[in-house]
Amino acid sequence: MKDNQAIEKALSFVKRKYNIIIKDEIFSWIVDIYKNSSKPLINPYHIENPVKYLYQYIFEHKIQIFAEYKYDGTHIQLSKAGIFKHSGDIASPDQLGYLIYIAHDQPELMNKVKEAIHNGYILECEVFGKDYTPRGFHKAYHRNLDLVVFELGKDKSWIIPPEKYEILYQLELPSPQHYSVEYSSAEDLEKKLASLASMPESFEGIVAKGKFIPNGHELILDYIKSNLLIFKVKKELLFSKEERKETKAFKKKREEIKIPSSSENYSILKSEIENEIAKIYAEKGQEFVSNKSNIPVMLNEIIFNLRKSHPSLISNIDQRELKKLIANLILHYRV
């Protein structure tokens, strides 16, 4: 029953937004997969920002690193097991609507997606475009909605680059622009990834990927996703910000520690919160975000998502201070 309601909402969204009626044969296979959604064959992952030790670990283990542009959209996993959102839950009606629209707008692309799924592949996609870009990076994009496949899995494991890129090319599926990063030291790797992330064409920044080598990895567990080593370098965190006197309270065990707003941890936390607010804005609109009576709802949603996606980032933070920070960022949010 819930599936039928979600499908009706998705179709209603597409008709209302684009004033089109889509033929059943174009999207029926998407709906069939959606109805049969059970559990992801591989859990969709969340990406963390790197700690200094990670660069040293990569250098010591001589891991080949690839950097991919980070698109500004919504994360959707497609496979024979169903259609899922970033959290691993079944995709939302809006996300289903995005896929249905792309099937109408680019039937050849979605036929390639269908074929890959039929052959047992698990596709991690970013759906983006001028109609869905929470941080605004794709407002000038030439399509309303589009998708790229940024991860490819099979037999419950991710396919490691560069093999992944070769298979995506054979499947004729679009993937993010990527680079093989040569480096001579941990510092050199950090510098080169920052340089790639700062380029305008990298959108939000870059995602760095390589093969996970299990040896002394206890300090980098946040960056291990099955057989893949992965982290992000976000553009907005690369540029130094003016030192501010404001402080936020963090707790570690029973001690309360004051950390300046300009510190790395605070900047990362602020960036992740702003990203969550941007997603709410993109999905529910300016009127919803601007209405102060909706702040408690947004607070709960943002804290829930942070706990699920970045638990280590907020585990030692005073919850009252966290709520104050989120509420303040909501009140001062600008597109």
How confident is the model at residue 103, as a pLDDT? 95
For CATH 3.30.470.30, the residue range(s) in the chain are 2-237
The confidence band for 326, taking pLDDT boundaries of 50, 70 and 90, is confident
156: number of Cβ within 10 Å? 12
50: number of Cβ within 10 Å? 20
The confidence band for 263, taking pLDDT boundaries of 50, 70 and 90, is low
The confidence band for 153, taking pLDDT boundaries of 50, 70 and 90, is very high
Q: Give residue 210's identity as a one-letter amino acid code.
A: G
Q: Which residue has the higher pLDDT, 48 or 334?
A: 48
Among 139, 158, 141, smallest CA distance to 149 is for 158
Calpha distance 220→49 (Å, rounded)? 11
Instruction: Indicate the class that CATH gives domain 2-237.
Output: alpha beta
The confidence band for 229, taking pLDDT boundaries of 50, 70 and 90, is very high
The confidence band for 24, taking pLDDT boundaries of 50, 70 and 90, is confident
pLDDT, tens only, 214-226: 877 777 888 999 8
Q: Is 178's pLDDT higher than 60? A: yes
DSSP result, 143-210: SSSEEEEEEEEETTEEPPTTHHHHHHHHHT-----EEEE--SSHHHHHHHHHHHHTSGGGBTEEEEEE
Return mean pLDDT, the chain: 87
The pTM assigned to this predicted structure is 0.78
Burial 193-232 (b: 16+ CB within 10 A, else e): beebbeeeebbbbbbbbbebeeeeeeebebbebeebbbbb
The Cα-based distances of 141 to 67, 198, 200, 280 in angstroms read 22, 19, 14, 21
142: number of Cβ within 10 Å? 8
Calpha distance 68→281 (Å, rounded)? 26
How confident is the model at residue 246, as a pLDDT? 41
Asked if 1 and 8 count as a contact pair (C-beta separation under 8 A), the reply is no
pLDDT, tens only, 30-43: 999 999 999 999 99
Max CA distance (Å), the chain: 61
The confidence band for 22, taking pLDDT boundaries of 50, 70 and 90, is confident
How confident is the model at residue 2, as a pLDDT? 58
pLDDT, tens only, 279-290: 888 777 888 888
On the CB side of 325, CA atoms within 13 Å amount to: 24
Asked if 312 and 252 count as a contact pair (C-beta separation under 8 A), the reply is no
- Both tokens assigned to 32: 């069939």
